[in-house]
């Protein structure tokens, strides 16, 4: 990201602090979903 984009994101999160928590929660859920998908593809049986 460029410095301009970083500063815009920082300003947005400063104005909307609850969005930071929502983005963090979304990141955690997506990382766990990726782990589940990777784990389920390891088993080839029915």
Confidence (pLDDT) at 35: 80
* CB contact set of 5 (below 8 Å; sequence gap of 6+): none
Confidence (pLDDT) at 43: 65
Confidence (pLDDT) at 28: 93
Confidence (pLDDT) at 27: 93
Query: Is there a contact between 28 and 35 (Cβ–Cβ < 8 Å)?
Result: no
The Cα 16–Cα 24 span in angstroms is 13
User: What is the rounded (10 degree) CA torsion for 19, 25, 30, 33?
Assistant: -160
What is the radius of gyration, based on Cα positions, of the chain?
17
pTM: 0.59
| pLDDT tens profile 1-46 | 567 888 999 999 999 999 999 999 999 999 888 887 777 666 665 6
């Amino acid at each position: 990201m460029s410095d301009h984009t970083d500063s815009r994101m920082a300003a947005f999160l400063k104005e909307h602090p609850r969005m930071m928590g929502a983005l963090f929660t979304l990141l955690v859920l997506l990382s766990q979903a990726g782990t589940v998908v990777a784990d389920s593809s390891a088993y080839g049986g029915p």
